[in-house]
Structure 1
């Protein structure tokens, strides 16, 4: 898709005239140097490189004159690239972010949700001369995920991890001490039939598949077809994604593959509970996990054509012609500054079960729309950044947290909170899987800390764990209501379908943090064979400071707001777990008062002022944080959580030390 001839064929005189001008006030001639916001990095003792981030107005850029009419040729390059990959950008009122780095490629992104996480990369090839001094090259990415080059890259990544002595965290126990999954798919010999085998407790080297089931038909193992699948499975009878997983397994030189839908008897409750409770170990002990990141279901292959780059013809001020390349890419690289791991984008990244599959795997190959990414417990690589780097990775989250443990602070709890925040944003097909789908991670945390686990919170970090806050997406979101069926106790974040957050204190606040509660007792009843999975009930009995208050509800601009009214203090805003309603307390069919409860979708919302109880959970210097509680439907003395609050300690000056049971 070449630029207009007017951009490519300008007279030498007009080019020379443009050269004498100051840099373009919009794009600064795509030069990271000599700008008031330029940053210089000393990467060696000999030279410093410059970087620059420009924030451009989309409307202003789109109205830039044609270069033949005196417009900027560098703005023309940006416009050409944006036209090719971001349809409709000219009409948007968003900011365009242009990241420039000396001798590096140019990355262009647009604010807003429409193109969130998508970038255009502008670069020159290694075979051609750069059209201007600061533009650099980019690594070649094969056009198809099933190319020989991509398979070579995958094999190099895995082999380097297996053989590199620095990858201590990636070393598995001896083969003889690793128990294989109960069943595996035998795929390794092309001439032999593909079939399910019972491992009979023997050890095998195998690959795992991490994938979306989707809403369509998925081939599954059942009580009725298990024997047939153990005899022969025709390759063309498998879903396209499973076919690709078999091809990848064979390309890696392995014979066995674990796919949950085929290796767990799906209509056997006992088999599902037994095998799903072992998923953490299954993924951790596998040779590598194939992550079908861009596949929405079994019908969507992962060995597919990638987004293709385009070529932009460009002439410099002397009339010399150059070819510039531009390609669409996803913003997936680890964030070194914030310490965040890679962010593979695709349908799979929205699924709740998948988080623990990636956290617990030792090695992962992420098949995205643009390229292949590799993570292990030690390093990260991708096809556009193939050099081995000790970047933060998802499989390294727990091992690194364990390694950093100190006498004053346990980073494992920070890692748990980070994973819960990410997990709570993801989707579940079966609501009852909320606890089972993170039980593998919980098992690792339990192993590292020795703490008791109570339906999503930890005994040894109870105060901080109880202070989670719900962050609903919008006031109209159906997830802002309580669930109709019981799934978890109200004190647990797993009782709701909302993203949650934890307050992250700075070092000074962390030192000042003090728990205000004592756990007197707890109870929990698991519903199945997984002790860290689904529960039928759980409760906590706490000793701590409590005050009685009124909770008021009012609506402003269509949004419901809730505030505590405590005698002697100003109104205190609370963070509600969901929408709330006032209800009568009934005992023996007679009304004895009012309370507040989480609202269900069937409830009619209205303004109210009703009594609640507040329990202080922790203190930060002159502040106290705690829970707002309403009386349970089972009646006093059992309370249920409604939300969280933070207030000055004067609100709790007249608090009583009481025993409170929360369920």
Structure 2
């Protein structure tokens, strides 16, 4: 009798299908997959997808035959972006193998917010999905304070953090006043440091529309005796708690450590603000707080559990939490911080000049120093370019690459010009701390936001926005027209490619400059300023035309085609009295209330720099008050034989 055959029961597995919409949220084997081959543990795939929100919201549920992975996206969007269904907008998805899945929406209200999808433990059912680290549900938790202490201690003791070594203390860099927060049982009081070198923290915060607790001439004596903890705004209370938890006794808070109704005290101490933040042991940045009534230590939004089953019907632990897209986008970029504080002009130099910063964001605590970046979701130390490292790194390179400092300044100004000020006259004072550092490093003369040693490239800034609300010249003077500080609009500088710089030839000479400073800050507010330069000048006609609701301006020069200019703001035509019986047309920057109209009027072109056969320069209009003075209207760049033949002359720009 033949032996019995061993019979095995065939297991029929459901066939794995790939969703044409979400690709099963798998970064591998897609036409757009990118493989990171530089990693030592092997190549990892990444994938960027864009899905239409309206189409995604119409898809069937898994039990009705729909995609399980698309359903995960819908659950995460429902949990954190209420009202997304039925809208015509893009869902942006970033997938990294063994990492989290980040999803966001294009709508303005949610543009800076991201939802991370992750797992709590590795799963064979979703092998490409990464495990995310737990983040405490309160920013005042013991775990978060422990993280902050480790970051600061590691920076202080790590021999690789040479750039983070604080400069030698001096009475000139010591704050005049500090808050002594003592112990929880001791009174808080305002003290005069008398030039002593004390270890302290500093607070970087938004004042908001309200008025925080302030020191004035009438109350400073009372505040130097006792400040009730309960009388402090909630944000200041949190700053005191953080200072104590970090083992410090003193903190500097601008509204309390500067006498706010003393112009002399404000000008003296605000000029020292750069060194105050630099010399602080660390800065507490209330990044997510819009004002003093908001807390830095608060509850965070809880993660949500998403329903997901594998092919066998077993549940897999998949979660989603709100995040902010703070991680550096590449190896050359610093952390991308989000919050009200990142929109304020004064806060930029506090960020740039601080040595160490604790950023209290909405979702987690981030740490930056001049050497590394860390966050609670990724606490390992990363040797990453940081914002506090920007100026020190540029200065370290300046011996071999002098342009590094000017490139750093341009980057700072570009960011600064996108931020807002409560008092517009603070435009130059609020960046004077950084300017002071640049001046000490280069010994160059500072001319209303520009530098004499880099005048050519500094003059060729251009505006990058046409937003109606910011497309007028301010009514009140605060800077000369040749300075970016004369406008409230984002600006940009020409490319700083090192090789290209060698081909840029200056065509101007600075003959003289004049600055009238108001107050005690030599790099601060101005009442008047001008420069006199010598260079190739050509007379031209400026023509304005309106196209699709926007005004465009072109230069008309004999013997060449029309040249479109980059105007600084809206321009209007006016008349100027040449004599008692004769007037002449001239063009000026429009102010709020002016109604732009089509015009054709004379201007002059100052050729500032030459790059091969290209000429870049300024378009200047005659000033009403003085016939020999001109105001900047915009910039031009053109390849023209006519411009090459421009004749040299001197011109004064105000």
> What TM-score comes out, normalization by structure 2 length?
0.96
Pairing 1:353–2:322 present = no
Match of 2:7 in 1: none
Gaps (5+ residues) in structure 2?
1-10
Residue in structure 1 matched with residue 176 of structure 2 by the alignment: 182
Shift of residue 373 of structure 1?
A: 0.7
The structure-2 alpha-carbon separation of the partners of 1:237 and 1:75, relative to structure 1 and needing over 3 Å to count, comes to same
The change in CA–CA distance for 1:303 and 1:655 in structure 2 (over 3 A counts) is same
Who is 1:378 aligned against?
A: 371
Deviation readout 1:136-188 (Å, 9 max, x if unpaired) = 11111111110111000111111110010000010013456784200000002
1:29 aligns to what?
24
Give distance in 2, aligned partners of 1:593 and 1:179.
54
CA distance in 2, matches of 1:384, 1:365: 14
Q: Could you tell me how far apart the structure 2 residues matched to 1:53 and 1:455 are?
A: 44
1:107/1:167 CA distance change after superposition, 3 Å = same
SS of the aligned residue for 1:280 comes to helix
Report how many residues are paired: 644
Query: Is contact 2:303–2:321 with CA below 8 Å preserved after alignment?
Result: yes
Please give the per-residue CA displacement for 1:291-324, whole angstroms capped at 9, x wherever unaligned: 0011111100110111221011321111211221
Aligned equivalents of 2:301, 2:405: Cα separation in 1: 39
Match of 2:451 among 458, 461, 464: 458
User: How far did 1:395 drift?
Assistant: 0.2
| 1:363 match | 356
For the 8 Å contact 1:16–1:318, the answer to whether it is kept is no
1:62 and 2:53 equivalent?
no
SS of match in other structure, 1:305: coil
Which residue does 1:198 correspond to in 2? Answer: 192
Taking structure 1 as reference, are residues 655 and 319 closer, same or farther at Cα in structure 2, changes over 3 Å only?
A: same
SS across alignment from 2:552: strand
User: In the aligned structure 1, how far is the partner of 2:149 from the partner of 2:583?
Assistant: 70
Distance 1:592 1:46 in 2: 77
Report what 2:595 is aligned to.
604
Q: 1:402 aligns with which of 395, 398, 407?
A: 395
Contact 2:47 2:94 in 1 (8 A): yes
Q: How far apart, in 2, do the equivalents of 1:174 and 1:599 lie?
A: 49
Q: CA RMSD in A?
A: 1.7
- Where 1:461 maps in the other structure, the secondary structure is helix
Distance 1:323 1:173 in 2: 50
Residue 407 of structure 1 and its aligned partner are, at CA, apart by 4.5
1:283 is aligned to 277
1:650 aligns with 2:650: no
1:96 matched to which residue of 2?
Answer: 91
Q: Could you tell which deviates more after superposition, 62-71 or 609-618?
A: 62-71
Partner residue in 1 for 2:8: none
From 412, 421, 432, the equivalent of 1:428 is 421
SS across alignment from 2:346:
helix
Match of 1:164 in 2: 158
TM superposition shift of 1:473: 4.0
In structure 2, distance between residues paired with 1:138 and 1:16: 34
CA distance in 1, matches of 2:80, 2:552: 42
1:270 alignment partner in structure 2: 264
Query: In the alignment, does 2:537 pair up with 1:546?
Result: yes
The residue number in structure 1 matching 2:431 is: 438
2:238 paired with 1:209: no
**C-alpha contact 1:42 1:48 (8 A) present in aligned 2:** yes
Residue from 30, 43, 49 that aligns with 1:48: 43
The answer to whether 1:536 aligns with 2:527 is yes
CA distance in 1, matches of 2:396, 2:65: 60
The structural deviation recorded for 1:567 is: 0.7
Report the CA distance between 1:405 and its aligned residue: 2.5
**What per-residue deviation string (whole Å, max 9, x for no partner) do you get for residues 560-588 of structure 1?**
11111111111111111111111112145
- Unmatched segments (≥5 aa) in structure 1: 1-14
- For the 8 Å contact 2:175–2:193, the answer to whether it is kept is yes
CA contact (8 A) 2:560 2:640 kept: no
Q: Residue 364 of structure 1 aligns to a residue in which SS?
A: strand
| Partner secondary structure for residue 457 of structure 2 | helix
Tell me: CA distance 1:42–1:602, structure 2 relative to 1, closer, same or farther (3 Å).
closer
| 1:308 and 2:299 matched | no
SS class of match (2:275): helix
Change (3 A) 1:26 1:532: same
Match of 2:506 among 502, 515, 518: 515
Contact 2:173 2:272 (C-alpha < 8 Å) held by counterparts: no
Distance 1:16 1:36, change over 3 A: farther
CA shift at 1:39, angstroms?
2.2
The corresponding residue for 1:524 is 515
Q: Distance in 2 between matches of 1:142 and 1:381?
A: 15
